[in-house]
Amino acid sequence: MNNGTTRIAGTIVTYGFVGLMAFLSIFPFLWMLLGATNSSIDIIKGRMMPGSALATNIATFFTQVNAPLVFWNSAKIAILATVLTLAVSSLAGYGFEVFRSRHRDRIYSALLLTMMIPFAALMIPLFIMMGKAGLINTHFAVVLPTIGSAFVVFYFRQTTKAFPSELRDAAKVDGLKEWQIFLYIYVPVMRSTYAAAFIIVFMTAWNNYLWPLIVLQSNETKTITLVISSLASAYYPDYGVVMVGTILATLPTLAVFFFMQRQFVQGMLGSVK
């Protein structure tokens, strides 16, 4: 095989692989959109064309689900979890990078090790803790365990490495205390990092399913993911309605990503240039 043929073969394999990956990523989304326009029977039959049941499915969804309440519950949890996680984890990441102490690296390593513990192993102790604190069936019980995220602390510490130490020095000479340096210099300078972390944490909190399923027991406290799941696990599930719910549940995360994507990319590359 000459060089030209090898290059063409390589290109075909590359494009084939990328195309396959793109299809695998897009297919569920496409199925969700098409499914929302079809009846449950058509979906089960595997129909992959636009149907005429969209209006019926939407009407059924809003009849079966108290949409304003479940969306409000999801939004409340996602926003609260995101704001608190960013506040706590960015402070921790900044602190780990900026302040030196003898035990800093040991504590940081211990924190990172917690990422290796599967959530399933923590569920029972967490449930008992929440029970003792009287927080079962409250949104606070969903939010609390997510605030101290080792991953987000790690992310902030890594990005803080690019935060120039001379900015801190200049701020000290200008008369700022450490908390003021954090608030007035670090936060605005690192806003792209915050934006990227906001998207990641918000999407995780919005899509959170397992832990809310355990601690949220009444219909008044349930989130959209739990409600969609209960629709899908009904005795006669209406998949068209489930698809409508899934589309609606996807919209807020899509909107967040759409509005913040530029800063997300910048944040992933590093805030400080």
Partner 1 sequence: MSELQLNDVRKSYGNFEVIKGVDLDIKTGEFVVFVGPSGCGKSTLLRMIAGLEEITSGDLTIDGERMNDVDPSKRGIAMVFQSYALYPHMTVRENMGFALRFAGVAKAEIENRVGEAANILELGPLLDRKPKQLSGGQRQRVAIGRAIVRHPKIFLFDEPLSNLDAELRVHMRIEIARLHKKLATTIVYVTHDQVEAMTLADKIVVMRGGVVEQVGSPLDLYDDPANLFVAGFIGSPKMNFLKGIVEAGADGTSHVRLPDFGNATLPIAAAGATPGSTVTIGIRPEHFGESGSASLDLTIDMLEHLGGETFAYARHGDGELIIIETKNGRDLKSGDGIAARFDPAEALVFDADGRRLR
Residues of the shown chain interacting with partner 1 in the complex, contacts defined by CB under 8 A: 164, 166-167, 169-176, 180, 185, 188-189, 191, 272-273
Residue with Cβ nearer partner 1 (180 or 207) = 180
Minimum CB distance to partner 1, residue 101 (Å): 13
Residue with Cβ nearer partner 1 (196 or 227) = 196
Q: What is the 3-state secondary structure (H, E, C) of 24-64?
A: HHHHHHHHHHHHCCCCHHHHHHCCCCCCCCHHHHHHHHHHH
Minimum CB distance to partner 1, residue 155 (Å): 21
Give the Cβ contact number of residue 157 at 10 Å: 21
d(CA 127, CA 105): 31
3-state helix, strand, coil in the chain (%, to 5): 80, 0, 20
d(CA 265, CA 150): 21
With left for phi above 0 and alpha for psi between -120 and 50, is residue 72 left, alpha or beta? alpha
Residue with Cβ nearer partner 1 (16 or 188) = 188
Token reading at 180: 């003021």
Minimum CB distance to partner 1, residue 270 (Å): 13
d(CA 246, CA 99): 45
Residue with Cβ nearer partner 1 (106 or 177) = 177
Minimum CB distance to partner 1, residue 168 (Å): 9
Cβ–Cβ under 8 Å, residues 263 and 193: no
Minimum CB distance to partner 1, residue 54 (Å): 46
- Beta carbons within 8 Å of 58's beta carbon, 6+ residues apart: 244
Residue with Cβ nearer partner 1 (138 or 180) = 180
Minimum CB distance to partner 1, residue 188 (Å): 4
Q: What is the 3-state secondary structure (H, E, C) of 93-150?
A: HHHHHHCCCCCHHHHHHHHHHHHHCCHHHHHHHHHHHHHHCCCCCCHHHHHHHHHCCH
Residue with Cβ nearer partner 1 (245 or 267) = 267
Cβ–Cβ under 8 Å, residues 271 and 191: yes
Minimum CB distance to partner 1, residue 189 (Å): 6
Residue with Cβ nearer partner 1 (103 or 132) = 103
Residue with Cβ nearer partner 1 (54 or 162) = 162
Minimum CB distance to partner 1, residue 102 (Å): 11
